[in-house]
Structure 1
Amino acid sequence: MSRHIVCPACATVNRVPEDRPALAARCGRCKERLFRGEPIELDAAGFERHLTRSDLPLLVDFWAAWCGPCRMMAPVFAATAKALEPRLRFAKLDTEAVPEVAARYGVRSIPTLILFKDGRAVARTTGAMPQAQLEAWIAQALAA
């Protein structure tokens, strides 16, 4: 059995056997690591690819550069990515650069975190939070 994982560097869909250590997995095309322990930046096309072609849950931080709470949340989000990958993919989407995706999901306040599983939104929260609270929210959302 294998899982489909989208490469964060070249967006190639890779088939990774479930019995293989995910942290050691590399892209078959570009040879980059599939997990870097940090959030990836998404544009509209990258968002669609990771949402629809990957078997991993996708946690997206909708943010903007001018947003103070977003800047406060960034290191927490990065530390949580380092702690929880490869259980899920962590990604950031700039609402100023990709407003159509933010509008599609009704993002009106930032930072907004939306957890996607099997291509659909399953949980959302708004506002900055400490790492322990974020990890608890993720665990609860994935268990539901």
Structure 2
Amino acid sequence: MQIACPHCHTQNRIDDERIADNPTCGACHKPVFAGAPVAVTAEQFAVLNKQLKHPLVVDCWATWCGPCQAFAPAFASAAEHFAGKATFVKVDTDQEQALANSLRIRSIPTLLVFERGQEQVRQSGAMSSGQFKAWLSDFF
């Protein structure tokens, strides 16, 4: 899969089988899937959801959505706070409509937690950073 590093935005090619090995960016050498949210396509989501051995936290959002934009810093803060315990990804529901439909996204922002490919919980609506971290602490 080709994925942009969330830290320096360099494109990295990562073999699907290496996803669970905590790969690092070829340019900045920081973990690609830890410490910051990663924007993903439907294909990338499918691979991550299948390969990861720790929780996958998903923010379904859109660029035009005010609450989504307001929630983005809380999501980024949680990604940093829970680095190494979960992978945080963002799905742009306008760009990935088929994925949004398959996930049954009816409003945004919608937050989901997956473990080993299975949805564990979902929450519609933005939360404060503290509320979001408390909500996630039940899973890690």
Report if TM-score (shorter chain) is over 0.5. yes
Q: Which has the larger radius of gyration?
A: 1
Is the deviation greater in 99-108 or in 61-70?
A: 99-108
RMSD: 2.2
Count the aligned residue pairs.
128
Q: Among 32, 35, 45, which residue is 1:47 paired with?
A: 45
Which 5+ residue runs of structure 2 have no aligned equivalent? 6-11
Which 5+ residue runs of structure 1 have no aligned equivalent? 1-5, 17-21
TM-score normalised over the length of structure 2: 0.81
Equivalence map 1:1-144=2 (5 Å): 9-12=12-15, 13-14=17-18, 16=21, 26=24, 30=26, 32-34=29-31, 35-140=33-138, 142=139
TM-score normalised over the length of structure 1: 0.79
1:34-82 C-alpha deviation (Å, 9 max, x unpaired): 3451100000111001100111210000000000000000011011111
Identity value in percent: 33
Matches of 1:38 and 1:96, distance apart in 2: 21
**Partners of 1:63 and 1:112 within 8 A in 2:** yes
